Amino acid sequence: MLSDLKNKALRGVLWSAVDKCIVRIMALGISVILARILSPEDYGLIGMIMVFITLSNLLVDSGFSQALVQKHTPSEEDYSTAFYFNIGIGIICYFILFVLSPIVALFFQTPLLETLLKILSLVLIANSLTVVQRAKLLIEIDFKRISIINIVSTILSGILAIYAAYSDFGVWALVIQIVLRQFIVMVLYWIFGRWWPKCIFSKSSFLSLFRFGSKLLIAGTVATIVTNVYNMVIGKMYRAKELGFYTKAYELSEVAAGTINEIINSVTFPLLSAVKEDKARLVSIYSKMLSMTAFIVLPAMTLLTLLAKPFVIVVLTEKWLPAVPLIQWLCFARMLTPISALNMNVLNAIGRSDLFMKVDFTKLPLVIFIMVLTLPISVEAVVIGNFIATFICYFINAYLPGKLLGFGIRQQTRIFKKILLSTCLMVVTTLCVMNNFDTSLYQLLIGVIVGILSYILYAYILGVNEIYEVKIILKNNLGLLK
């Protein structure tokens, strides 16, 4: 039994890593092509309205997908009840945004936003039809099918978006990419999900799912507002061009941190939920995930910070140069996000979504205060403030896991020491070598090579355990991908 769970977990981790890495790399490639064709203003227009789409998607899910996963063995009544509820909310949210679209356009004083929001809102309908199918695959830790879905949808939507951009569709190329991808995802989940709803809607199932999911919904709403409100206020107070720079900077900072965060969240939640009754095993898996996350995300985000300028010049062209300082500060901010997310994820896994909600509400005044303080200064001041807020929020997020599981700030800091030292030594080495080259292309290529190799070398010399664990996993478990 334990061996089966271990193998399933490893297979899940590996397939999830394959999925997220491939999808992120492809998405980055598509994004680079689109950024070279489209203008910062085009990205700014999408950035203005994505907060409404993101918030609505939270309502569509309502925490039910995680509630189903947390149950571990949901009944057919649970699945069907969640399905019909999610569809109903999806339709309601679509019509609300459809009606509000003129008001949104008036708020930003940009008439085009009305039509853009009406079309983009269609993703809510598509997403509502995938909630249960996605939850079933997560419960089964079937990341192979999830990977296929994500890869295929990213490729097909990206190809059409690039064609639209080359055909002078402008901002509509981005709209096509977003909407088409979600509908392809919907179709593929129904093909691979192997589940069809019954004509059942159970009040007791609904209440059970809602009791858990509603707390996550509230917490998720707060977190989403905190994350996306920057788009709204920057779009309101500054030009679409400035918002475009911010949007692209945030997107690039997500390349490493977002990939790791998605892998960790998708795999650890069902895995930790499965062992939630065994505290010793729970803490063991949790601590290993923390150290492995730090081992990857800290050097990756630091290296991205060092290489931001040559990357922008070589890959995106000089029209995106104003985004460089934004990329650097957002990379520093996102450095702690996957670690913080794991600290919060363990609360959900043990069924304490109430604490998850309370923690998010605790952070809200801090984030708002810093944003209000920095917003009148400049967009760069806003992202510096975001870094400060993220740093403080990490300590808040780590408090309850420390109290409940005995693995808080002190214990986490201890396992990060050698990783931090290896990262600092990598920075010194990379900068010394990069400064010997004048062209951005050489700085980028040499920086990547020297950064990766020097980090691995220093981690090996300092005896960072994770480097040996990665070696063992790659050596012994790649066959699990079959």
| Boundary-marking domain end, from 190, 217, 237 | 237
Question: Measuring CA to CA, which residue among 295, 303, 189, 292 is closest to residue 252?
Answer: 303
**120 vs 7: CA distance, rounded Å:** 40
49 Cβ neighbours under 8 A, 6+ residues apart? 104, 113, 116, 117, 120
Domain shared by 175 and 248, yes or no = no
pLDDT(451) > 90: yes
- Residue labelled with tokens 């993220």: 390
Question: Containing domain of residue 295, as a range?
Answer: 239-482
* pLDDT single digits (tens) 454-471: 999 998 888 887 776 666
Domain shared by 280 and 206, yes or no = no
Question: Measuring CA to CA, which residue among 153, 87, 90 is closest to residue 124?
Answer: 90
pLDDT in the model for residue 216: 67
Domain shared by 228 and 271, yes or no = no
Question: Measuring CA to CA, which residue among 200, 185, 193 is closest to residue 82?
Answer: 200
* pLDDT single digits (tens) 184-201: 999 998 888 777 888 888
Domain shared by 262 and 212, yes or no = no
Domain shared by 279 and 198, yes or no = no
Domain shared by 175 and 275, yes or no = no
Are 157 and 176 in contact, with CB atoms under 8 Å apart? yes
- Residue labelled with tokens 């363990």: 346
pLDDT in the model for residue 72: 63
3-state SS of 278-310 is: CHHHHHHHHHHHHHHHHHHHHHHHHHHHHCHHH
- Residue labelled with tokens 């990490």: 394
Domain shared by 50 and 164, yes or no = yes
Question: Measuring CA to CA, which residue among 70, 126, 42 is closest to residue 346?
Answer: 70
* pLDDT single digits (tens) 386-411: 889 888 888 887 777 767 677 777 77
| Boundary-marking domain end, from 237, 259, 280 | 237
Are 239 and 313 in contact, with CB atoms under 8 Å apart? no
**Structural domain count of the chain:** 2
Domain shared by 70 and 197, yes or no = yes
**418 vs 124: CA distance, rounded Å:** 44
Q: How far is CA 27 from the centre of its chain?
A: 13
pTM: 0.71
| Boundary-marking domain end, from 212, 237, 262 | 237
Count of Cβ atoms closer than 10 Å to residue 208 Cβ: 18
Domain shared by 9 and 138, yes or no = yes
Domain shared by 210 and 138, yes or no = yes
* pLDDT single digits (tens) 309-345: 999 999 888 888 999 999 999 998 888 888 877 777 7
Domain shared by 332 and 217, yes or no = no
* Better pLDDT: 366 or 281: 366
Are 226 and 364 in contact, with CB atoms under 8 Å apart? yes
Domain shared by 166 and 277, yes or no = no
